[in-house]
């Protein structure tokens, strides 16, 4: 059961208000007396408003009432869902004089979440209704309603709820298709953003509750089970276990790692400072909402669980007699750990000079522990975006001289075509479940990652074929525009409810400054990063959806947004043989020729093209014929190629979502 109370509207009206209230009270989790009293008062007012509204309906026998429906992805419960064969009404009550933008976003997000992830909610219109006790009566603008569409939020005073329902029902399609009685049993499989997933799992929900909405994305839970099975080898006498998990971008490697770290009291180590800043701040904010918890106190347990890999490494090298308190660590993007040569060069003039690779040091630090230990290494192939990242081969070299470690890996880690990404070890335990193949990030199309790969290897024929056979209603979630203003307008219209949008761009796209995009998100600034990813515009102009600061590949790797505006730079252009990676030096562009540097530029655009959960809008500037660094012909070639690969031209308005219509037209009603 996912609701505190449910039944037909006739049963709801026949049951006394006090009996319904008592039932809700019994289902309520433990809480303080004051908050419990406030909740009971709110429920009493809501029950009264619902009874009055339903009693005014002529066809009450057609309705069903669901109270406190759980939304795992959002961490909340919907106050009430009223079901009719022709529509779903999602109702949020607010016991105050007015309502805020956050109130509107909250109830709209409920409706969008049902549309996207609840299998029983896709056949009829979904209408979010915000009810406040003392909203003044005024002429209403009610939305046109379409099947499979979540309308804009309708606000109503408590006393007007019945009349509002009648008016809305008149706007719904006449043919009812909703299974009112079976609605609650329909699968609800949310796919939360990575930050929300971290919050959910930190609150002790397992990864199975946040798995993909698609039935074929089962290997997320299978991979977690394989990791846990490898860790359990401790009981067979293996004191040192290391597990390598591979997967395509957006397949859920980070989710698996967080699940293991949180469930087993381990630490999540990452060299990605943005990930550390965002995860720590998000979890600390949740903890700080608990009674008598300060923000400073909330950060303490989070700092132990989410750690910066360089700080972890340096601390134990400076204190050679200490060993970590945790027996399990998860190493995020382990292929990005420094090679021995790079580590030596990077620290040549520092007090603590590194003479081995980072993998070697991490293995030795964990081996100090007197208890059995396990390391879980998450490998994101094609995600190397900086010099000195040693790849899987660096781990293989370190493990070859440390035979006490029992090694588990996916077949892809053993058979990778690129030597730098290949794990060559005797006695390697290979488990196919340790490779994640099903994308969980993209809500619209499972083929989004395949399309990006085809585009980056300059295979327009394959990309066009993927676009033509995209799995969801023929829609590939990539759009091209030549207008920055149009992209901003479209992104703001698309990011409804609490869906997030933001601008991303390559760190090498130096000439975007001429287009007015010189404000780059400083990825080492914890406060700036937290505001960009966690806060909202217009309340906070530092937020991503202010669409002012551009996050580079270093700022957004490992994280995601619902809608992404990718600002294409002059550092990655078309050439007869494929792509032409460049760097800007002084007053001119220079071609990048070193194989590693070429790979880093390709990988940077792979990261940028795979950040969106719903859709990516690619803005290719028009350029300026008077400026030799912004050649219009070169930029035209990029835009033309992306369109030839199947990216659609950005429409003037609309949402690339599973809805049957774009933003609904409005009709005025008194």
Q: Is 15 helix (H, G, I), strand (E, B) or coil?
A: coil
Q: Mean pLDDT, to the nearest integer, of 264-270? A: 89
- pLDDT digits over 76-130, tens only? 789 999 999 999 999 999 887 677 888 899 999 999 989 888 888 988 999 999 9
User: What φ, ψ does residue 547 adopt, rounded to 5°?
Assistant: 60, 40
pLDDT at 31 over 90: no
Reported as type and span, the H/E element at residue 367 is helix 358-367
- pLDDT digits over 190-215, tens only? 776 777 777 766 665 444 444 433 33
- pLDDT digits over 294-318, tens only? 666 666 778 888 888 989 999 999 9
**Separation of alpha carbons 66 and 594, rounded Å:** 62
Residue found by looking up tokens 């070429």 in the block: 598
Residues 6+ apart with CB under 8 A from 112: 150, 496, 497, 499
Instruction: Look at residues 261, 280, 113 and name the one whose alpha carbon lies nearest to residue 192.
Output: 113
Report the Cα–Cα distance between both ends of the chain, in Å, rounded.
39
Q: Mean pLDDT, to the nearest integer, of 19-38? A: 70
CATH homologous superfamily of domain 194-436?
A: P-loop containing nucleotide triphosphate hydrolases (3.40.50.300)
pLDDT at 218 over 50: yes
Q: Give the residue extent of every domain in the chain.
A: 5-190, 194-436, 448-649
């Amino acid at each position: 059961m996912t609701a505190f109370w449910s039944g037909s509207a006739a049963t709801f009206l026949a049951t006394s208000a006090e009996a319904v209230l008592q039932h809700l009270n019994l289902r309520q989790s433990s809480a303080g007396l004051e908050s419990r009293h406030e909740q009971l008062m709110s429920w009493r007012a809501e029950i009264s408003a619902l009874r009055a509204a339903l009693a005014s309906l002529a066809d009450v026998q057609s309705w069903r009432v669901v109270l406190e429906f759980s939304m795992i992805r959002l961490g909340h419960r919907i106050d009430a869902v009223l079901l009719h064969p022709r529509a779903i009404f999602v109702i949020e009550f607010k016991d105050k004089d007015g309502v805020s933008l956050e109130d509107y976003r909250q109830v709209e997000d409920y409706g969008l979440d049902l549309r996207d992830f609840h299998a029983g909610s896709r056949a009829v219109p979904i209408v979010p209704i915000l009810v406040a006790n003392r909203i003044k009566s005024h002429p209403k603008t009610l939305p046109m309603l379409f099947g499979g569409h979540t309308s804009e939020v309708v606000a109503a005073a408590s006393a007007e709820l019945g009349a509002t329902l009648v008016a809305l029902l008149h706007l719904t399609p006449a043919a009812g298709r909703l299974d009112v009685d079976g609605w609650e049993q329909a699968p609800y499989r949310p796919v939360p953003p990575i930050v929300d997933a971290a919050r959910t799992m930190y609150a002790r929900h397992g990864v199975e509750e946040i798995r993909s909405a698609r039935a074929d994305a089962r290997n997320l839970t299978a991979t977690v089970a394989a990791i846990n099975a490898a860790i359990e080898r401790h009981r067979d006498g293996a004191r040192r276990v290391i597990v390598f998990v591979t997967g395509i971008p957006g397949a859920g490697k980070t989710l698996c790692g967080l699940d293991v770290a949180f469930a087993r009291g381990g630490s999540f180590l990452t060299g990605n400072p943005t990930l550390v800043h965002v995860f720590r701040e998000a979890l600390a904010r949740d903890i700080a909402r608990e009674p008598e918890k300060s923000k400073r106190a909330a950060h303490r347990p989070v700092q132990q669980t989410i750690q910066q890999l360089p700080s972890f490494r340096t601390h134990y090298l400076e204190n050679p007699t200490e060993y970590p308190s945790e027996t399990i660590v998860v190493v995020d993007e382990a292929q990005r750990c420094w090679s021995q040569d790079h580590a030596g060069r990077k620290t040549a003039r520092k007090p603590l000079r590194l003479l081995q690779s980072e993998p070697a040091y991490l293995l030795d630090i964990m081996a100090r522990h007197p208890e059995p230990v396990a390391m879980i290494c998450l490998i994101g192939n094609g995600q190397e975006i900086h010099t000195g990242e040693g790849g899987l081969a660096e781990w293989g070299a370190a493990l070859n001289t440390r035979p006490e470690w029992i090694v588990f890996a996916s077949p892809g880690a053993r058979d990778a075509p690129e030597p730098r990404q290949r794990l060559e070890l005797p006695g390697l335990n290979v488990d196919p479940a340790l490779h994640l193949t099903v994308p969980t990030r993209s809500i619209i199309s499972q083929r989004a990652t395949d399309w990006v790969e085809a585009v980056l290897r300059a295979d327009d024929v394959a990309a066009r074929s993927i676009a033509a056979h995209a799995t969801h209603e023929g829609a590939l979630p990539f759009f091209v525009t030549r207008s920055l203003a149009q992209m901003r307008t479209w992104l703001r219209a698309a990011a409804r409810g609490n869906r997030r949008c933001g601008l991303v761009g390559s760190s090498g796209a130096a000439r975007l400054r001429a287009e007015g995009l010189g404000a780059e998100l400083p990825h080492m600034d914890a406060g700036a990063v937290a505001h960009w990813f966690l806060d909202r515009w217009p309340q906070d102009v530092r937020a991503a959806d202010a669409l002012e600061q551009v996050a580079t590949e270093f700022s957004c790797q490992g994280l995601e947004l619902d809608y992404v505006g990718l600002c294409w730079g002059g550092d990655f252009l078309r050439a007869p043989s494929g792509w032409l990676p460049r760097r800007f030096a002084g007053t001119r562009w220079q071609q990048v020729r070193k194989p590693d540097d070429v790979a880093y530029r390709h990988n940077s655009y792979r990261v940028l093209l795979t950040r969106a959960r719903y859709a990516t809008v690619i803005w290719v500037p028009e350029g300026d014929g008077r400026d030799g660094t912004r050649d219009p012909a070169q930029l035209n070639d990029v835009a033309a190629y992306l369109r030839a690969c199947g990216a659609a031209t950005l429409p003037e308005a609309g949402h690339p979502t599973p809805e049957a219509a774009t933003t609904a037209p409005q009709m005025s009603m008194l």
